[in-house]
Chain A
Amino acid sequence: MTTSPTTSTMALIEGHKPITPASGIPVWDIDPYDVELLRDPSAYYAKLRELGEVVYIPRYSVLAVGRYEITRKVFSDHENFLSSRGVGLNDFKLEDPWRPPSIILEVDQPEHTRTRKVMSRALSPKVVKGFADLFRETADTLVDQLLAKGTIEAVTDLAEAFPTTVFPKAVGMKDVNPRHLVDYGAMVFNAVGPDNALRREAMSHAGEIVPWINAACTRDRLTEDGLGAMVYASAEDGTLTEAEAGMLVRSFLSAGVDTTVTGIGNALWCLSQNPEQWQALKRDPSLIRPAFEEVLRYTSPVHTFGRTAGGATEIAGFPVEEGTKVLCVLGAANMDPDKWGDPEVFRIDRKPVGHVAFGAGIHGCVGQNIARGELEAVLGALIEKVDRIEPAGEAVWRPGNAIRALDRLPITLIPN
């Protein structure tokens, strides 16, 4: 086996170049991927913000930002902080990633613009409105079934059940395997962390899942009328190659299931913990969409994504060397009191425009409209049919390298 000159002369940390932080940057010896911390990150978020505009974490030799303004700035500064070198700890320029890089998530301008346009057209608010009936009918049926059960485990019974039913239909997948879809999301999102137990466990399913995912994205495994077909249509007009279309369909499956599962679970947790907010939502259904934005701000389903300094640059006046990995702790930014005033309070009428749960800038979540459409359907069905949502046991969080989701959420749905 031969090694390239780059890797033979430099010891990498988690697949990226170790850095010497500029003097003056606070140093914090912590593991932001520790499972206990990930179960309840609020103290970590607060300390990260308190330490400064930017913090050096020696364990992984990375910088981290968590205050709102600087996090939003760095995360959306696609000129200086690249996505093409991976949005996790591995630097794709130095080591090959575990799968071929995404041609929308892990790519910079100008290449990004071409694929982004295809996806934002396929996932526009107008297209999503076309799925409103499918989403709502599915939600109505599901909620009726769950009401018959009374006490449910909401992660499996509702948060996973809904997206794994509607999303493959929206994409137009002929092959349906809810478990594979959820587990593939877990792989993609845990892969952006360090080589820890979470990542290794998620990756242990790769041999079985990756071939299934790749096969499910091919043109002959998609119907003629779904989002997948819309993407493949761009291969016909020459915007994309057929292989690129398949890669973008893969992006639907990477980013479209685990995230919405988390969004629904987190919403149910927020509303079961805050019965007065649930009642307020029942009184005023026009708050459904703002309520979901508040769930996103309050729980940050994607808590951390990274960027890589493409050249020598700066953060908050501190020099930053080329190849520096920067953790953008979106969860901390969404709880910054300097931005939100009373971030610890869950208020469905806050209308937190500018939260970074969907990111910001040119890489802002391209599927955000479909996420909103799914939540609107689920919350709409719930407020119509359910009088109260009561906790029926302890809610357990599932640590993840990028996603903060519930593992178990026992609740009782009390009908009207």
Chain B
Amino acid sequence: MVKVTYVAHDGTRTELDGDPGDSVMSLAIAQGIDGIVGECGGSMMCATCHCYVDEDWAETAGPRMDGEEDMLESAACEVTERSRLSCQIKLTEALDGLVVHLPEEQV
């Protein structure tokens, strides 16, 4: 079990239990988190699962994947150094406790 906390733009925190191999996007979709759309289903073809990795977790979550940077240019909200596409963050035991912050809008 890997715990992930999603912090909505208004500050609401939702804690979910995922399995290793889930993505931060797929877990959010499966549990109905509103702030993530995931329109393309994880093919890295849209930017509607944009999230900001909490600074405490930036290193553990790792760098952006090949091509992720390009797609982030299409994100609806500001892209910062902590911006990631949540479909590209795959849960591992090391990410147990991960905190991600969600942008105000995704489209």
Which residues of A are found within 8 Å of B46, using beta-carbon distances?
A: 125, 368-369
Cβ of A355 within 8 Å of any chain B Cβ, yes or no, is yes
Known contacts A289-B107, A353-B29, A353-B38; decide if A117 and B67 are in contact (CB<8 Å): yes
Query: What is the distance, in angstroms, from B68's C-beta to the closest C-beta of chain A?
Result: 11
Number of A-B contacts (CB under 8 A): 60
B41 touches A354 (CB 8 A): yes
Once the chains bind, are A360 and B43 in contact (CB under 8 Å)?
yes
Choice from A113, A117, A125, A360 contacting B74 with Cβ under 8 Å: A125
- Set of chain B residues within 8 Å of A356, measured between Cβ atoms: 41
Give A124 to B74 CA distance when docked, in angstroms.
Answer: 7
Q: Is there an interface contact between B39 and A372, defined as CB atoms closer than 8 Å? A: yes
> How many Å from the CB of A28 to the closest CB on chain B?
29
The 8 Å CB contact of A354, one of B26, B37, B44, B107, is B26
Encoded as 1 (CB less than 8 Å from any A CB) or 0, chain B from 15 to 41 comes to 000000000001001000000011111
Partner of B40, one of A113, A121, A129, A368: A368
- B56 contacts the other chain (CB 8 A): no
**A126 interface contact, C-beta 8 A:** yes
State the majority secondary structure of interface residues on A. Answer: helix
Query: Given A125-B46, A289-B107, are A353 and B74 also a contact pair (CB < 8 Å)?
Result: no
CA distance A369 to B26 in the complex (A): 20
Provide the residues of chain B in CB contact with A354, threshold 8 Å: 26, 29, 41-42
Contacts of A361 in B (CB 8 A): 43
A365 close to B (CB within 8 Å) = yes
Considering the complex, which residues of chain A in the window 350-375 have a beta carbon less than 8 Å from any beta carbon of chain B? 353-356, 358-362, 364-366, 368-369, 372
Any A CB within 8 A of the CB of B2 = no
Residue of B40, B47, B71 with highest tally of chain A CB at under 10 A:
B40
Find out whether the CB atom of A359 lies under 8 angstroms from the CB atom of B43: yes
Which residue of B42, B47, B66, B71 is within 8 Å of A360 (Cβ)?
B42
Q: Is B104 an interface residue (CB 8 A)?
A: no
Q: Is B70 an interface residue (CB 8 A)?
A: yes
Q: Knowing A360-B41, A369-B45 are in contact, say whether A120-B67 is a contact too (CB < 8 A).
A: yes
What is the interface of chain B mostly: helix, strand, loop, or mixed? loop
Answer yes or no: A336 CB below 8 A from chain B CBs: no
- Of the candidates A113, A293, A353, A358, the one whose C-beta lies within 8 Å of that of B66 is A113
Q: Is B93 an interface residue (CB 8 A)?
A: no
Q: Is the CB of A355 within 8 A of B67?
A: no
B73 CB–A CB distance under 8 Å: yes
Cβ-defined contact, B41 with A366, below 8 A: no
Minimum C-beta distance from B28 to chain A (A):
10
Chain A residues contacting B40 (CB-CB under 8 Å) are: 358, 364, 368
B45 touches A120 (CB 8 A): yes
Determine the chain B residues whose CB is within 8 A of the CB of A113 once the complex forms.
66-67
Neighbouring A residues of B37 by C-beta, 8 Å: 353
Which residue on B lies nearest to A356, using beta carbons? B41
| Closest 9 pairs between A and B when the two form their complex, measured CB to CB | A364-B43, A125-B74, A126-B74, A353-B29, A354-B41, A124-B74, A353-B38, A368-B45, A353-B41
20 contacts between A and B (CB under 8 A): A113-B66, A116-B67, A120-B44, A124-B74, A125-B47, A126-B74, A289-B39, A353-B37, A354-B26, A355-B41, A356-B41, A358-B41, A360-B42, A361-B43, A362-B43, A364-B40, A365-B45, A368-B40, A368-B45, A369-B45
Residues in chain A within 8 A of chain B (CB atoms): 113, 116-117, 120-121, 124-126, 129, 289, 293, 353-356, 358-362, 364-366, 368-369, 372
